[in-house]
Amino acid sequence: MSHTEKDVQCREIITKAVCGKGRKFCQATHTVTPSHSPTSILGCWIINHTYTAEKVGDTVEVSGSYDINAWYSYSNNTKTEVATENVSYCDSIPLTIEDKNVLDQGLEVFAKATQQPTASEATISSSGNSILVQVERDFYVEIVGETKICVMVCPHGCDDDDKEFGFGDDEDDGFEELDSDFFIDDLD
């Protein structure tokens, strides 16, 4: 029995789904103030990165902090030291894909640092008493919530013929063409 368009009905189903996505690459310049005027920069790295995310309007705000460690020389390259600066940030990530049918209660926000904060460059400031550190970071965010989807249903069930799906008793099932010498009798 085949179904006509008149037999098919639509139903709305509430389900959990990804209702919003976004991604943002950010660059920032931070100032690290060492205890001595630097002569040269020997290295710079970022550690202790932590962050949280929450939905704010049509965006996801990712707030976090990290420590910048700048290894530098001073006293005409005769001594070295590491200067540490804790930096806080807040990145607003717009949702490029957003489901307008999402129910606002019970939203879950997921954020992943696809690129952990990395020092791309460290230079001595023009005043000569601080270090300017350029940092790059990249985040991917998702909003998961309940949303409505519309599905087509057949009110009388699916009693379509199995042959349409390839499950029937076809005479040509291809087994006659198999090479029986290929099978292994003993698996020891």
Work out how many domains the chain is built from and give that number. Answer: 1
**pLDDT exceeds cutoff 90 at 178:** no
pTM of the model: 0.71
Backbone angles phi, psi at 162, to 5 degrees: -60, -25
Residue 133 β-bridge partners: 30, 122
Q: What's at 41, amino acid-wise? A: I
| The most confident of 8-22, 109-123, 153-167, by mean pLDDT | 109-123
Residue 182 falls inside a structural domain = no
Q: Which of 20-24, 53-57, 163-167 has the lowest mean pLDDT?
A: 163-167
Q: What tokens were used for 160? A: 């379509």
Q: How confident is the model at residue 168 (pLDDT cuts 50, 70, 90)?
A: low
**pLDDT exceeds cutoff 50 at 1:** no
**pLDDT exceeds cutoff 70 at 12:** yes
Q: Which domain holds residue 37?
A: 10-150
Return the pLDDT at 154: 75
Residue 27 β-bridge partners: 136
SS3 sequence, 44-105?
Answer: EEEEEEEEEEEEECCEEEEEEEEEEEEEEEECCCCEEEEEEEEEEEEEEEECCEECCCCCCC
Residue 155 falls inside a structural domain = no
- What pLDDT, in 10s, does the model give residues 109-142? 999 999 999 999 999 999 999 999 999 999 999 9
The better pLDDT of the pair 146, 72 is held by 72
N-term to C-term CA, the chain: 51
Q: Chain-wide mean pLDDT for the chain? A: 85
Backbone angles phi, psi at 114, to 5 degrees: -75, -20
Residue 110 falls inside a structural domain = yes
Residue 50 falls inside a structural domain = yes
Residue 47 falls inside a structural domain = yes
Residue 31 falls inside a structural domain = yes
106 Ramachandran zone, left/alpha/beta (phi>0; psi -120 to 50): left
Residue 30 falls inside a structural domain = yes
Residue 162 falls inside a structural domain = no
- What pLDDT, in 10s, does the model give residues 59-101? 999 999 999 999 999 999 999 999 999 999 999 999 987 777 7
Residues contacting residue 152 through CB under 8 Å, at least 6 positions apart = 8, 9, 10
CA distance 166 to 63: 54
